[in-house]
Amino acid sequence: MNLTFLAQTPLFRGIAPQDITAMLGCLHGREQSFSKGQLIYGAGECVTAMGMVLEGSVCIQRDDFWGNTSVLDSVQPGQMFAETYTCIPHEPLMVSVVAEKPCTVLFLETPHMLQVCSNGCGFHQRLVQNLLSISAQKNLALSRKIAFTTAKTIRGRLLTYLSAQAAEHKSPSFTISFNRQQLADYLNVERSALSNELSKMQRDGLLTVEGRQFVLKVQEENLL
């Protein structure tokens, strides 16, 4: 196991590689590999081990009664999944976790993380603090997404999202991390409808867009 890599992840940040080895024993850490498309966790399961992607990637998805699948997130190396559910005993998963590509996952037993370490592990408190920080950041990301998708119209969702991006970059000119399809999925709209609305917003003088690069504009009448 690459301890140097683990020491750079959000969960083990601030913990030396040699100390991570002892902690993995306390947390009953185990590695497991999965092939592309293989189910890691299924909706309805109650799980006790959170997962950290070491190699490859996994996707978080929701499947409805009729077999339609919605991809909610992609988890990359160093990132976690299922940590919220494993903190709540007997809480069934509302989503499924599937290998997006061949991957290796490190599973850690959350109950052992939340209890006082019988071995007197000196970095246990730091680990719990890191876990709380990860959970808080994910909650903030979810809150932002809810805010961006509250508007009923596509233009309303775009205005809210792009305004937040401008504020984050402290500039009306910025580059977003999403491509057009990813942005459509994030805002929960159709890609073609999103592209049409962006074209209309350009014609209306609200912005210019080229690929992932945006420049927001203030219409002259708003300055009067």
152-223 placed in CATH 2.40.50.100: no
Its CATH class, for the domain covering 3-145, is mainly beta
What is the model's pLDDT at position 224? 37
Structure tokens at 89: 């005993």
- Position 122 scores a pLDDT of 66
- 37 vs 72, more confident: 37
- What is the pTM assigned to this prediction? 0.77
Question: For the chain, what percent of residues have pLDDT higher than 70?
Answer: 94
pLDDT, residue 178, reads 86
CATH 2.60.120.10 segments of the chain: 3-145
Q: Which of 49, 5, 3, 40 is nearest to 22 (CA)?
A: 3
What pLDDT is attached to residue 109? 93
Question: What is the predicted pLDDT for the residue at 209?
Answer: 96
| List of E strands, 14-132 | 30-34, 39-41, 49-55, 58-63, 69-75, 80-81, 96-99, 103-109
Mean pLDDT of 192-215: 96
163 Cβ neighbours under 8 A, 6+ residues apart: 216
Task: Pick the more confident residue, 23 or 107.
Answer: 107
Give residue 72's pLDDT band: very low, low, confident or very high (50, 70, 90): confident
Reading the block at residue 132, the tokens are: 């709380």
pLDDT digits (tens, 9 = 90+) for 123-177: 888 898 999 999 999 999 889 889 999 999 999 999 999 999 999 999 999 999 8
H/E segment holding residue 128 = helix 124-148
- DSSP assignment string, 63-91: E-TTS-EEEEEEE-TT-EESHHHHTSTT-
Q: What is the mean pLDDT of residues 81-91?
A: 91
Residue 22 has what pLDDT? 86
**Contact indicator for 19, 123 with CB cutoff of 8 Å:** yes
pLDDT at 214 over 70: yes
Q: pLDDT tens digit string along 35-55?
A: 999 999 999 999 999 999 999
The mean pLDDT of 76-91, rounded to a whole number, is: 92
CA-to-CA distance for 22 and 2, rounded, in angstroms?
14
Delimit the CATH 1.10.10.10 region(s) of the chain. 152-223
- Residue 81's pLDDT is what? 96
d(CA 28, CA 205): 58
Question: Which residue shows structure tokens 């092939």?
Answer: 35
Q: Percentage of the chain surpassing pLDDT 90?
A: 67
